Chain A
Amino acid sequence: EAGVAQSPRYKIIEKRQSVAFWCNPISGHATLYWYQQILGQGPKLLIQFQNNGVVDDSQLPKDRFSAERLKGVDSTLKIQPAKLEDSAVYLCASSFRDSNYGYTFGSGTRLTVV
């Protein structure tokens, strides 16, 4: 099966600019996650979708971050405006359902804010 697809792989922007990341999960996976991985740290959950509904966005900085999964398939994560501390790898993952058996990660988008 095809893996979790993410684009772009790399993005460099200036602070206060906007940026968007795209994720296409594995076909049939109802649950989609966005994680932020800052250099030298483990990933931290930003938002979790079940189909097109938000399950958990408690760690999402809602003043600047937004995410949507309108048709319950692919998803976009947006940052507006970006800050220097948003430099990180943004990982998308998906699972077949509410799964405690781990899930499949994409390769991530590396964002550098200068």
Chain B
Amino acid sequence: GEDVEQSLFLSVREGDSSVINCTYTDSSSTYLYWYKQEPGAGLQLLTYIFSNMDMKQDQRLTVLLNKKDKHLSLRIADTQTGDSAIYFCAESQTGANNLFFGTGTRLTVIP
């Protein structure tokens, strides 16, 4: 079955860049996503990338995909205290709709 792994914690200073990493095992993963979850809230879709892309940039967010190593990363530039949250990596396959989530990375931004 699908397995998506993330490190559990990351701390950065305000203004620095954050890099959150994710690895997945299913080579047929076609769509990869990053979701953000703030305390007591549902999951908010931040960005997604198709498996035929290497990089996607959206304002402060940069997603890098290394399909050969099955490695996905999310870089947040100029990290702010409002970015403190849990970040989930998720993947799905073409024609399927079930999202398989990682365990989440808790990002703490230190003022």
Contacts and interface: CB of A to CB of B under 8 A. Distances in A.
Q: Do A and B truly interact? A: yes
Interface residues of B, number: 23
A43 B44 contact: no
Contacts of B55: none
Chain A contact-residue range equals 20 to 34
Interface of B: 4, 30-31, 33, 35, 40-45, 48, 88, 90, 92, 94, 97-99, 101-104
B4 A100 contact: no
A61 interface: no
A44 B98 CA distance: 9
A101 B48 CA distance: 7
A108 B48 CA distance: 22
Contacts of A33: 97
Contact of B43 (A31, A43, A101): A43
